[in-house]
Structure 1
Amino acid sequence: MSVANLARTHGNQGRWKDAEELGVQVMETRKRVLGEEHPDTLNGMARLAFVYRNQGRLKEAEELGVQIMETRKRVSGEEHPDTLNSMTSLALTYGNQGRWKEVEELFVQVMETRKRMLGEEHPDTLMSVANLAWTHGNQGRWKDAEELGVQVMETRKRVLGEEHPETLNSMAHLAWMYSNQGR
């Protein structure tokens, strides 16, 4: 566990090469000791995919992301929080590749599942809605993006309060949308 923590620390410091070297070591050890489908192995793989994404190695991040998502679906089920998180991570990789249709498909699936499982006002659901709003913005679909962004902001204001960091993030996201529209 300490090697995994050190790899995470390197990543937090932007020391991506060091994070990668330790991440590969953690992933390979966990595969050998715990097996390829163990949650800790999959977590190590997810961390390594994150490192690859931050290094701009998007093909490698995508390959790991698809493997993680498919394994989690098979082992834990399509509605498990870890599966939904792996879908979100893969969507972010697709976003870095400019593959907005695939991003949207994954984010819609995650959002709908979280709404059904957690309710419309749960923080994870709201993050999923915010992710979809971000996607629409990147697609140039400003009206759709704004509608979702306002919905997230208003719900967070009501549920979390006006000064909560997530509420403020929602406001900043709306400002980004308005700025990109010249408003």
Structure 2
Amino acid sequence: MAFFEQQVAERERDLGPDHPDALRSRNNLGGACQQGGLVDRAVSLFERNLADSERVLGPDHPDTLTCRNNLAGAYEAAGDPARAIPLYNRALAGRERFLGSADLRTMLCRDNLARAHELTGDPARAVPLHERTLTDRERTLGSDHPDTLLSRGNLAYAQHGAQSPERSAELFAHALVESERCLGPDHSATRLVRELLTHVRGG
């Protein structure tokens, strides 16, 4: 934490508080605060950084989109996923427009938005988001990639929450076969998928 504090102080002093490098340093400090459990301070830093980034860099600059995504994550960490959803939506729209739907940062943002919907008790809204990410990852990474397996599990979990147990079980069964083949039957991810499949089948 002290390192990031010092970095912010030095860059604001040497470059000015509105310099892009100073904004990035403040963003890093916010992330360190959130990881260290100082969620309220992280929210405050991210709120300031987003306002400054929108003013200095513009609302659609890649750094601004990152700030918006990070503030949404801080709201979520503070127990307010409903407040995070509109920010995730704006960040996702910007990343899809400027980076493309299959860019890693875009897919991570889409996963974040889907999770926020699940946390607010609306998994049906998460389903199409997970479906799109799964399609993108299968196309760009392949069906065997760990991130693709994760997407398949995320979709299966959302389908179960959206009261589609048969589709959920089908997806979990597929994910289990792929996970056993790619990661091995005793891998922690494989065991988790196996437990979830048993759960959705009512076992």
TM value normalised by structure 1: 0.85
In the alignment, is residue 122 of structure 1 matched against residue 126 of structure 2? no
- What is the aligned partner in structure 2 of residue 30 from structure 1? 53
Matched with 2:98 is 75
Question: Which of 133, 139, 153 is equivalent to 2:162?
Answer: 139
- Distance in 2 (CA, whole Å) between partners of 1:167 and 1:27 is 39
For residue 101 of structure 1, what is the aligned residue in structure 2?
Answer: 124
Q: 1:19 to 1:172 in 2, by over 3 A?
A: farther
Return the match for 1:61 from 76, 84, 88: 84
Alpha-carbon distance in structure 2 between the residues aligned to 1:26 and 1:176 = 43
Unaligned runs of 5+ in 2: 1-23
What is the aligned partner in structure 2 of residue 112 from structure 1?
A: 135
Residues 80-91 of structure 1 correspond to what in structure 2 (within 5 A)? 80-91=103-114
Give me the whole-angstrom Cα distance separating, in 2, the residues matched to 1:95 and 1:48.
18
Who wins on radius of gyration, i.e. which is larger? Answer: 2
1:85 to partner: Cα distance: 1.7
> Where does structure 1 lack aligned partners over 5 or more consecutive residues?
none
Runs of 4 or more above 4 Å deviation: none
Shift in CA distance, 113/32, structure 1 to aligned 2, threshold 3 Å: same
Mapped contact 2:124–2:161 kept (Cα < 8 A): no
Shift of 1:172: 4.1
Helix, strand or coil for the counterpart of 1:14? coil
CA RMSD of aligned residues (A): 2.2
Q: CA deviation at 1:167?
A: 2.5
Instruction: Give the partner amino acid of 1:28.
Output: A
- Report the CA distance between 1:94 and its aligned residue: 1.3
How many pairs are equivalent? 180
User: 2:196 maps to what in 1?
Assistant: 173
1:7 counterpart letter in structure 2: G
1:14-46 Cα offsets, whole Å, 9 max, x none, are 332121112223333433444332323222221
Rate the CA distance shift 1:39–1:165 in 2: closer, same or farther, 3 A: farther
Shift of 1:66: 0.9
Q: Residues of 2 paired with 1:135 and 1:45: CA distance?
A: 24
Change (3 A) 1:14 1:70: same
The equivalent residue for 2:182 is 159
TM-score (normalizing by structure 2)? 0.77
Task: State the alpha-carbon separation in 1 of the partners of residues 189 and 66 from structure 2.
Answer: 25
Change (3 A) 1:95 1:33: same
